[in-house]
Amino acid sequence: MMGRRGVSVVEALLGVLLGFLVLGLGVALLARQRAAVARLTARGEALQTLRVTRYVLEAELRVGIPGRDWVVAGGDSVPLRSFRGVGIGCAALGPTTVAVFYSGIRLPRPEKDSVLILGADGDWVAHGLVSDAPAPGVCNGTGEVPQAWSLADTLRDAALLLRVFERGSYHLADGAFRYRRGRSGRQPLTPAVLDDGSQALMGLPDGGVALELVPRGVGGPWAGFRRGRVAWGARR
């Protein structure tokens, strides 16, 4: 009886020790799995940030003219005219009003938008947009209803092409890629995963842009895109 009892105690102790060993191994495995998930999540967010930054900047900058519609400022920001749509002028309705067939990613918003107008003389001139309203019965024949746009300034000549834009700026700041409209705050477009002080936007002599992003804890710098001179979607 005593022998069997002694063996039972030893077996119990071994069972407890093995249990603690298995528990420790389980905790270590769980910690490694969590670390692996964290690394994969960080890499995924870094890739998302790189792709979003490249895509948005490419889409915005390729439809503008360097020095006129956008500039690289301070190595971490790009102030720009952010174009939102295009109108075709069809009739002058007054010295400051023009009828327009418009298409774009959104409707014009006079409270924040301006218009870049191509006149018959071949020059582009910026005007403030005061109001817009449907103008049925004007420029018929296309099946579309044009809009009557009232501008802040007198038109010099016929308005052939009108590009709606808002003033904004893109920033690499506080670990994220951000957009700022007017004087509002810089709103994040990506997770805050960048290494502060290591990312950069650089203007190139040919009018392009070089982008470098350094995600925190993921690896070395990632060379971004180089954009050639682009206007109206056709490289030149």
Q: Which of 3-12, 110-119, 194-203 has the lowest mean pLDDT?
A: 3-12
> Residue 94 and residue 121: Cα distance in Å, rounded?
19
Question: Rounded to two decimals, what is the model's pTM?
Answer: 0.74
Q: How confident is the model at residue 102 (pLDDT cuts 50, 70, 90)?
A: very high
- The CB-side HSE value for 214 (13 A sphere, CA atoms) comes to 9
**Which helix (H) or strand (E) segment is 20 a member of?**
helix 2-61
Name the nearest CA neighbour of 100 among 143, 135, 137.
Answer: 135
User: What's the confidence (pLDDT) of residue 37?
Assistant: 67
Name the nearest CA neighbour of 118 among 70, 165, 155.
Answer: 155
User: What's the confidence (pLDDT) of residue 77?
Assistant: 87
> Using one digit for the tens of pLDDT, what is the confidence trace for 37-58?
666 777 777 788 888 888 888 8
Q: Please, what are the domains in the chain?
A: 65-78+168-235 (no CATH), 81-166 (2.40.10)
Name the nearest CA neighbour of 121 among 91, 148, 155, 151.
Answer: 155
> Using one digit for the tens of pLDDT, what is the confidence trace for 123-138?
999 999 999 999 888 8
> Residue 60 and residue 78: Cα distance in Å, rounded?
10
162: its two tokens: 């009108």
> Residue 78 and residue 81: Cα distance in Å, rounded?
10
